[in-house]
Structure 1
Amino acid sequence: QQMWPNDYVSVSSEILREVREFERGSTAAVNAFVQPVLARYLKRLGQRLKDAGNDRQLLVMQGNGGILNASAAERQPVQTVMSGPAAGAVAAAHIGRQAGFENLIACDMGGTSFDVSLILGGTPALSAEKDLAYGVPVRVPMVDIHTIGAGGGSIARVDAAGLLRVGPESAGAEPGPVCYGRGGAKPTVTDANLMLGRVEPSGFAGVSQAHGTEVVAAALGSAIGDPLALDAVGAAAAVLAVAGNQLASAIRLVSVEKGHDPRDFTLFAFGGAGPLHAVELARELGIPRVLVPRFPGITSALGCLLSDLRHDDVHSLWRALSEVDAGEADKIFDDQAARGTQALESYAVPVTGVEVIHEADLMYRGQSHVFRVRVDSPGFDADRVATSFAERYAERFEIILPDMKPVLASLRTTVIGTRQGVDLSLFGESEVAASAGERSRPVYFDGQWLETPLLQRDTLTNGLVVTGPAIVEQPDTTCVIDPGAVATVDDAGNLVIEVGGDNRWPSGGNDGNRPGNACSD
């Protein structure tokens, strides 16, 4: 600041206390680039809140699933990278724990993207680094989220080779899909869903001049049907099939390729478009059940309310584990915990408790695969750490390397300040029971049109059972319950859908082939 006086200086050693010169430099560069913009925005927002008579602390979501106050975010805005999707993962973990499901695959499908994260034991999986556009690495702790360009607004087209493609180009909100009636001419995933009866124009929030199936059919026919010799319905089904394959591939990246079997998880579907594709996607991957929260379209916003204060600290060692002194490791952990506790106190936000988590990053000498394991401190035990690392390595690669010596890359400490919880029962329970057959329309499932009941989400009472096919509509999303699937409304208003079909799990009395549409208390 003496050499170049200004309000914004980013020091790489303060942002990332870790050996990796390039990653530390690129992370500091991203921080420096974003800092003036975010700092000015937060100052304006804070002032407007004060002018409105709100003197509470302004809190900002972090990419690691925690929150920090505005002044800390102004100093290190890089900590907010991927904070929106991280909030969704936090909400998924919280709602899943309350519903009795601690292992989740959280899928957030909106208008432009599909974000996938893994929830293990009720906690979102974290990564130490993420590559942004053009391969620029940002090395800060963040929820491990894989994103692809596949959402409701993703545009379908036939390429020069005659292959059907969906996304990543998106129609966005303006002009939006063809069915929005705002000038969009290219068919999208949303248009395909409308063509097959899964959604209707009157259900689009904020859309007043929506088109019906005639205009959508013409767009699908000219862009997809004519090149592939399909009618409009066949073109729409093909678009959803290609999109579904892309969504399934994204889930495999965060599960199968990291040593996890999707069949051991529950699919948590949220976002405006997530519940539309959830059951079909779960069946594709052999996932036994789907959990749809009460308000899928605002689940990420809810995650901001559910998040706790969080501070992460890292110290590089890069030393053979056998050479690490236990006293030295405990001293590093103590210093990190003290810094984290001090940081949380500086936020001036009331907490109900403080949790300190110690971890170690390890790798085998000569390899680049780093795994993180929990560590006890005080009482750092190198043998226990080595055993935990070997177990994680074997879980990922299905191989044991007894002759290889682990290297301790770094020690990490996370300090979490637990905030007062949010009572999700505030959403309330409907007092109006749903009844089958009030409204229905033909919906296209697996090559045939089935007359399908249309249910309003706010009429589904706790304990209600809905047998597919059925469509559940609400202002922020539409949920498709495919034939053979059975949905139950739990005590928190979530939809727990047993997908049925050819899965290895017991489906609670429904063999996946039971016909008929029914609602029962």
Structure 2
Amino acid sequence: MIGIDVGGTFTDIIAMSKKGEILTAKLPTNRENRELAVIEGARIFASESDPILNHASTAGLNAILTRNLPKIGFLTTIGHRDILDMARAWRPLQEQTNPLWRRGCGDASSPFVDRYLRRGIQERITSRGEILIPLDEKQARAELGVFKNCDVKGIAICLINSYINGDHEQKLRDLIREIMGETFPVSISCDVSPLAKEYERASTTVIDVYMKIVFGEYLNRVTEGVSKFGFSKNLNIADSAADLVPFEFAMKKPSRIMYSGPAAGIKASTHFGELIDETEIICCDIGGTTSDIGLIKGGKPTVKATFEVEHDVIVNTLAIQIWSIGQGGGTLAHVNSAGELLVGPQSAGSDPGPACYGKGGHEPTITDACLLSGILRTEEFLGGEMSLYPDLSRQAFEQLATNTDLAAKVKQVYELGLHNIAEGILGVTVERGIDPRDYALFAYGSAGPMLVPQLMERLGVGKVIIPPFPGVYSALGLASTDMVYSDSKSAYIELGSDQKMVEKINRVFSTMEESLMQQINPEDREHVQVVRSFDGWYEGQTWETPFIPAPSETITEESIDTMLSNFHVGYQEMWGNMFPFLPVIATTYRTMLVIPTKKLEYPELPRRKTGEMIAQQKSLQYITDSELAINEYRRDALLQGDEIEGPAIIREPKCTIMVCSGQLACVGKYGEIHIERRK
């Protein structure tokens, strides 16, 4: 089995060999042709593993953020074509008083669909699902003719109240296939996101048709490339909750898979946390471009029902909650027009990369600061597969327009980078009422183990844990998760003892589950585990309390009592109180068909019986007040129970681990490194 995570700077690859060994590789990501590293990873490990390939990529997300998108059309009920421009009419807090601010996805900035390609259709369905105005097929054909003349590459359809009755959307899809061709990309909201609130549904549907075009082409190239090395059947991709789905199923609703990469690392942390009895975890994945922060509470990652790609660009799909900040190894340092030294959020990426890569980068980065300080070593970057050039790093810092010497510039850039990461973690925790002292901090990604241990005092956390293979940790998450087929649907039903209400809830769940079951291979159906939940609110409210557990068997009057009790408990956990005397309205129903898969097994390290740890004497400069002597160790030479006092550096092929002064690092059962304050 191979797991491949395509990041903005590097592509991480892990393989479970037929002998049970964990093999790793790290390749530069080609931003123009991201599939190349995936195909190369399949080639490297084809003879070592079973032909199962689990994949995560942000190819679709990057296309959305950069607006590198094809031309599409949008159909909606006449009079509503500007819902994409109006969005939710919310302003970011920091822009409340800015008269020049414009919504990034609005017509005044970079709209996803230009206004002349947003067309209204004569039709109307009521909130009860009844047809008020029949679909005007003649007028619809005329609008599709406009799209054909404009050479659109796909069409998104979102009609008012279609989440209750999708008849008109389905008829429009049939017309499109008749006029544009059977394979023409089209997404209809009653299939993609049959949920209430038209803007979120419209936004999701537009993103979905984009993903059918962009991700469809990408996955076709991946499939064709890896098939040459024996990977032709078991091809899976992680969705935004880091659950696996087959390529074919994913492309039916590809909006779900656009944010899969960072979520995989949190799944790996959940799985590994179970092994070492850590259930309260702050995850910090620092790569070359961003720091991705997530939370695990009670052994479960925090999940949300929607995620926001950028302000007011909403996707209705289950997603692990991740907060990203523009701080990574490749983050650029620069001086703004006011003379301030800033670090980020811009990144050098992998091409040209930091100045020390020797690929044409001229601006200093955090990686350059770490190289000049001695944290990184010239000849051992990526296990010796890539050389670094400190002279180029020095030149980049010398060109930085500040009135300080080289040592001060390096230290300031380094400290600013650490400060920005610490602020990001505190923003996720303290600002949300979470005390970091009650959590373990998992550090992974290429730069995480190098930077995060230095944040212990700033954050107040009790321990930092460096898991095995931290440089390719998100790829490990692809071998630590299950196959999951999921769906959701809105229907407003007051929970009570009315038999018709019970039958309606059963019908909603059974319809979704029967449809999903048809997508599952017959040999896997006997292993399916059904997990249900619902969103609800007290009568009179307008915002849901999500993910309330629901019974997985047939709903009865007794089951309704359980659902009501679960809602009151869930509401109190989220909001701090409950109102059991108020009626409860169930608004959205969710079901997941889970197929347990074989998880990655971490080998247990033996304890040291003879001999001592071997250390080399090195020194750090610039980032300390004076030159600091340190011990340097090889991680592959460490055994369970070994202890290392800081300051020290632990090196492994894909990353570098920093143990600061006053800290003690202890090697755990599976090779993980626990870093705590020295008592």
TM category (shorter chain) comes to: 0.7 to 0.9
Residues 105 and 116, structure 1, Cα contact 8 Å, conserved in 2: yes
Residues 351 and 359, structure 2, Cα contact 8 Å, conserved in 1: yes
Corresponding residue SS for 2:560: coil
Question: Structure 1 CA distance, aligned partners of 2:523 and 2:476?
Answer: 19
Partner residue, 2:550 = 375
Q: How has the CA–CA distance of structure 1 residues 475 and 383 changed in structure 2, closer, same or farther, with 3 Å as cutoff?
A: same
| Larger-gyration structure (1/2) | 2
Question: Structure 1 CA distance, aligned partners of 2:523 and 2:449?
Answer: 35
In the alignment, which of 618, 622, 633 is matched to residue 455 of structure 1? 633
Letter matched to residue 671 of structure 2: G
In the alignment, which of 347, 352, 368 is matched to residue 170 of structure 1? 347
Q: How has the CA–CA distance of structure 1 residues 454 and 58 changed in structure 2, closer, same or farther, with 3 Å as cutoff?
A: same
| TM-score of the aligned structures, taking structure 1 as reference length | 0.85
1:83-482 matches, within 5 Å, as 83-133=260-310, 135-205=312-382, 210-212=388-390, 215-223=392-400, 225-226=402-403, 230-319=404-493, 325-326=501-502, 328-343=504-519, 345-346=520-521, 350=524, 353-363=527-537, 365-366=540-541, 368=543, 370-377=545-552, 378=555, 379-381=559-561, 382-394=563-575, 398=576, 407-425=585-603, 435-442=613-620, 447-482=625-660
| Bigger RCO (CA 8 Å, 6+ sep) | 1
Question: Structure 2 CA distance, aligned partners of 1:352 and 1:108?
Answer: 37
Question: Structure 1 CA distance, aligned partners of 2:607 and 2:471?
Answer: 18
Corresponding residue SS for 1:305: coil
Percent identity between matched residues is 28
Partner residue, 1:515 = none
Question: Structure 2 CA distance, aligned partners of 1:26 and 1:375?
Answer: 28
Question: Which deviates further from its counterpart, 401-410 or 273-282?
Answer: 401-410
Question: Which deviates further from its counterpart, 473-482 or 321-330?
Answer: 321-330
Q: How has the CA–CA distance of structure 1 residues 400 and 160 changed in structure 2, closer, same or farther, with 3 Å as cutoff?
A: farther
Question: Structure 2 CA distance, aligned partners of 1:406 and 1:237?
Answer: 57
Corresponding residue SS for 2:180: coil
Corresponding residue SS for 1:58: strand
Question: Structure 1 CA distance, aligned partners of 2:518 and 2:429?
Answer: 36
Question: Structure 2 CA distance, aligned partners of 1:5 and 1:107?
Answer: 46
Question: Structure 1 CA distance, aligned partners of 2:536 and 2:626?
Answer: 54
Residues 354 and 416, structure 1, Cα contact 8 Å, conserved in 2: yes
Q: How has the CA–CA distance of structure 1 residues 290 and 209 changed in structure 2, closer, same or farther, with 3 Å as cutoff?
A: closer
Question: Which deviates further from its counterpart, 313-322 or 185-194?
Answer: 313-322
In the alignment, which of 61, 86, 105 is matched to residue 238 of structure 2? 61
Partner residue, 1:4 = 180
| Alpha-carbon offset, residue 29 of structure 1 | 1.4
Residues 355 and 415, structure 1, Cα contact 8 Å, conserved in 2: yes
Residues 571 and 577, structure 2, Cα contact 8 Å, conserved in 1: no
Q: How many residues align?
A: 492
Question: Which deviates further from its counterpart, 238-247 or 12-21?
Answer: 238-247
Partner deviation per Cα, 1:3-23 (whole Å, 9 max, x = no partner):
431313222211112112221
Question: Structure 1 CA distance, aligned partners of 2:523 and 2:618?
Answer: 50
Corresponding residue SS for 2:196: coil
Partner deviation per Cα, 1:190-224 (whole Å, 9 max, x = no partner):
11222332222223237755322x55344324415
Corresponding residue SS for 1:260: coil
Partner residue, 1:13 = 190
Mind listing any 5+ residue stretches in structure 1 that lack a counterpart? 501-509, 512-521
Question: Structure 1 CA distance, aligned partners of 2:437 and 2:247?
Answer: 41
| Alpha-carbon offset, residue 245 of structure 1 | 2.4
In the alignment, which of 458, 477, 488 is matched to residue 666 of structure 2? 488
| Alpha-carbon offset, residue 442 of structure 1 | 2.9
Residues 174 and 182, structure 1, Cα contact 8 Å, conserved in 2: yes
Corresponding residue SS for 2:374: coil
Residues 289 and 496, structure 1, Cα contact 8 Å, conserved in 2: yes
Mind listing any 5+ residue stretches in structure 2 that lack a counterpart? 1-176
Question: Structure 1 CA distance, aligned partners of 2:523 and 2:422?
Answer: 41
